[in-house]
Amino acid sequence: MLKSTIFFVLFAVCLARQVYFPSSGSSDLTPRPQLNGKGSGDFLPDRNVKHEVDIQYEGQHLCTGIILGKYDVLTVANGLQELNPDEIRVIDSTGIVHRVVSIDIHPLFDVRTLEFDIAILKVDPPFHMGRHFERVKLPLPGDELRPGEMAEVSGWVKAQGSEDYSFKRANTIVSLKYECNRTYGNDYEGSDHMLCAAFRPSLRSGCIADPGSPLIVDDKLYGLASWGDACEPGTHNSVVYTDVSKLDYFLRRNTFIHENARSELCAALQLVIALLPTIPVVPAWVVTALNLLVQLFC
């Protein structure tokens, strides 16, 4: 009975994936406008950056990432789908370089419509939480954003007239869906996995058009900057975000599998190390070597 249940669940998932992609690929939607990396806001020194990391490709800024766990960086999928993990580096606020072990893109991500625009990078070495880093908090069941609510955004933006990037933070206003419908027309209409936010100078807000930059309210991550024609003179300055709260299962599944596997192995190694001194035939160097392994791995 259990085997047949598992088979039908897997079959349903595969069928859903096969049905989804052709329908979106044959859509009349034009490709959605890409974020341009420009913006304005308050400059922040790196030492004040707790959640964000700089994701680079071939030494150049690619997008912003959010620390989701010791080994996990959350970002948008767009721009990563054809890259080799070996060519991507994650730079944290202390300047430590983390290599990317793997890229896990949401299985329903559509490069044309940018639905399910979300990915998790597995990194090594891990982040050491505490003084310099914090894992971001995710919305709880029932948490919802209200239109007109003030949100905080941050990311790396290009200096005016230059290709150099600096880290900035700004405020934005969570918008009603009809505002992005009015701005982008059919490009936005009908999406249940996106949020809309607008930068309004009258409310002393700035503008961040960096892919993957977070939309945070009450210290909780609600969105990742996905697409939009924003932060240019004369534009409407509305940015569309991947709605993180609607993709909770993808986030928790990936972090649980990776982080719990590591933690269980680390706990097993520590137990072995604790028992080894009670065995007379085990040389001291074995205990020392295992301790070193735990320090490096855990």
CA distances from 98 to 35, 62, 125, 167, 252 (A): 25, 15, 6, 19, 22
**pLDDT tens-digit series, residues 14-61:** 333 332 332 333 344 567 778 878 777 765 555 567 789 999 998 899
Q: Is the pLDDT of residue 259 over 60?
A: no
* Cα of 140 vs its chain's centroid, Å: 17
- What is the per-residue pLDDT for 182? 76
Residue count of the chain: 298
CA 112 to CA 114: how far, in whole Å? 6
**Angle 168-171-172 from CA coordinates, rounded to 5°:** 125
Q: What is the pLDDT of residues 114-153, one digit of tens each?
A: 889 999 999 999 888 777 777 788 888 778 888 888 888 8
Beta bridge partners of 158: 165
Q: Are 44 and 167 in contact (CB under 8 A)?
A: yes
Q: Looking at 58-193, which runs of residues are DSSP E strands?
A: 60-67, 72-75, 88-91, 97-105, 119-124, 150-158, 165-174
The answer to whether 114 and 78 have CB atoms below 8 angstroms apart is: yes
How far, CA to CA in Å, does 3 sit from each of 11, 15, 16, 241, 257? 12, 18, 20, 39, 22
More confident residue, 255 or 134: 134
Structural domains of the chain in order of their starting residue, each with its CATH number:
49-136 (2.40.10.10), 150-247 (2.40.10.10), 251-297 (no CATH)
**Predicted pLDDT of residue 21:** 31
The pLDDT of residue 223 is above 80: yes
Least confident of 62-71, 90-99, 229-238: 229-238
pLDDT of residue 100: 96
**201 pLDDT exceeds 70?**
no
Tell me the mean pLDDT in the region 154-165.
80
Cα torsion angle, 241, 169, 158, 124, sign: negative
Those residues whose C-beta lies under 8 Å from the C-beta of residue 94, and which sit 6 or more positions away, are: 46, 132
- The answer, yes or no, to whether residue 291 has pLDDT greater than 80, is no
**Interatomic CA distance for residues 157 and 230, integer angstroms:** 12
Q: Which residue has the higher pLDDT, 42 or 242?
A: 242
What pLDDT does residue 5 have?
Answer: 39
